[in-house]
Amino acid sequence: PQVYLNGEFTPLSQAKVSVLDRGFIFGDGIYEVVPVYGRKPFRMGHHLARLRRSLEAVRIANPHDQAGWEDLVGKLIATSDAPDQIVYLQVTRGVARRDHAFPADAVPTVFGMATPFAWPGAELREQGVRAVSMPDERWLHCEIKSTSLLGNVLARQFAVDRDAVETVMFRDGFLSEGSSSNVWVVKNGVLVAPERNHLILEGIRYGFIQEMAAARGIPLEMRKIAQAEVEAADELMLSSATKEILPIVSLDGKPVGAGRPGPVYAQLRQSYDEAIAALARR
C-alpha cells in the first residue's frame, strides 16, 4: 500500500524516517485517527480540529490548513480499495541533533496512512467486553493526542495479559478513561462521564455521545466519578474511533449491572448506526 510521508506518496516498505526524528527519539509528536465508513470520513472536521489543538499544545507548526488536511485524507482513502478504513495522521517535530530543547530549524515530519478496517462485529456488540482496572499512571496532559503513549501501551497490555479488551483507569480514586477509549457510566437511567479536562483525551465520540444522548432525552452528567460508583454502575461503556461504542459487561471479573448490554447502550448504539447510515446517503 501507498503511504504519505513529507509531501509524497510512496510504498509503505519504502517510507523511511531518520533515526534522529524526534518522534523516534523523544515521542515528540502528535497523531490523529479518523474512521472511514464506505470511503467517507466520519466527523472529519472534529478530528482535524483536535489535530490542530494537539499541534498548538505542543507548539509544532501546523503543516497544513484545514483544506490541505481534508485533501490529504481524501488522497489517503484513495490509496485503498477497502470501503471501511482507519486513516492515521502523525506529525512529529522533525529531525534534529539529539537535544531535548526544540530545534531552531527542524521541519515537522508528516506521515499518513489508510488501513482497511473491520468494526467490532455482532459478538462484541451483543455480548459486550470484559475490562479490568488499574491506577492511571500517565502524565497530566492526557488531553493532548501525543505519540508519547507508553502509559497507554502499558495499560492496554495490562488488559491483554488478563484476557480483557480494555483497562479502565482511575486517578486518585476517580475514573479517568480507558487505555485508548473514553469510559461511560449509567446509573438509574442517567449517563455519566468524567469532566472534560487535562486528565482525559476528549474523544470525538465524547462529543458525539453527548449529542446522541441529548437527541434521545437521555440525561447526562459530566462530573468526577468515584471508583465505587463505577463498580456499582448499571451499565458501563467505552467509546473510540475503532471500537465505536461497546458495552463493558464485566469489570475485574465482576459483572457490571445485569452482566449484559443495557438499555442505554442499546439506544446509543442505534443512534450511532443511524449516523453511519446517514453518512452513506450524503
Nearest to 261 by CA among 241, 271, 246: 246
Residue 204 in contact with ligand PMP, rule: CB under 6 A: yes
The residue (of 79 and 181) whose beta carbon lies closer to ligand PMP is 181
The residue (of 92 and 181) whose beta carbon lies closer to ligand PMP is 181
Provide the minimum distance between the beta carbon of 160 and ligand PMP in the complex, in angstroms, as a whole number: 15
> CB under 6 A: which stretch of 21-29, 99-107, 175-183, 226-234 binds ligand PMP?
175-183
The residue (of 85 and 180) whose beta carbon lies closer to ligand PMP is 180
- Rounded to whole angstroms, how far apart are CA atoms 170 and 28? 26
The residue (of 96 and 200) whose beta carbon lies closer to ligand PMP is 200
What is the secondary structure of the chain as a DSSP string? -EEEETTEEEEGGG----TTBHHHHH--EEEEEEEEETTEESSHHHHHHHHHHHHHHHT---SS-HHHHHHHHHHHHTT---SSEEEEEEEE--B-SS-SSPPSSPPPEEEEEEEE-----HHHHHH-EEEEEEE--S-S-TTS-BS--HHHHHHHHHHHHTT-SEEEEEETTEEEEESSSEEEEEETTEEEE--SSTTS---HHHHHHHHHHHHHT--EEES--BHHHHHT-SEEEEEETTTEEEEEEEETTEE-TTSS--HHHHHHHHHHHHHHHHHHH-
Residue 152 in contact with ligand PMP, rule: CB under 6 A: yes
Q: Which of 23, 194, 203, 261 binds ligand PMP (CB under 6 A)?
A: 203
Instruction: Please list the residues that pair with 62 across neighbouring strands.
Output: none
Provide the minimum distance between the beta carbon of 204 and ligand PMP in the complex, in angstroms, as a whole number: 4
The residue (of 70 and 202) whose beta carbon lies closer to ligand PMP is 202
Q: Which of 239, 247, 256, 269 binds ligand PMP (CB under 6 A)?
A: 239
Q: Which residues are catalytic?
A: 145
> CB under 6 A: which stretch of 3-11, 220-228, 237-245, 259-267 binds ligand PMP?
237-245
Span 177-196, contacts to ligand PMP by CB under 6 A: 177, 180-182
**In angstroms, what CA-CA distances link 217 with 38, 78, 196, 263?**
29, 39, 21, 13
Residue 136 in contact with ligand PMP, rule: CB under 6 A: no
Residue 156 in contact with ligand PMP, rule: CB under 6 A: no
Residue 201 in contact with ligand PMP, rule: CB under 6 A: yes
Residue 241 in contact with ligand PMP, rule: CB under 6 A: yes
The residue (of 14 and 242) whose beta carbon lies closer to ligand PMP is 242
Q: Which of 15, 20, 25, 33 binds ligand PMP (CB under 6 A)?
A: 33
Residue 48 in contact with ligand PMP, rule: CB under 6 A: no
Residue 205 in contact with ligand PMP, rule: CB under 6 A: yes
- Rounded to whole angstroms, how far apart are CA atoms 176 and 191? 15
- Rounded to whole angstroms, how far apart are CA atoms 147 and 196? 20
Closest residue to bound ligand PMP by CB: 203
Could you list the residues that contact ligand PMP (CB under 6 A)?
33, 152, 177, 180-182, 201, 203-205, 239-241
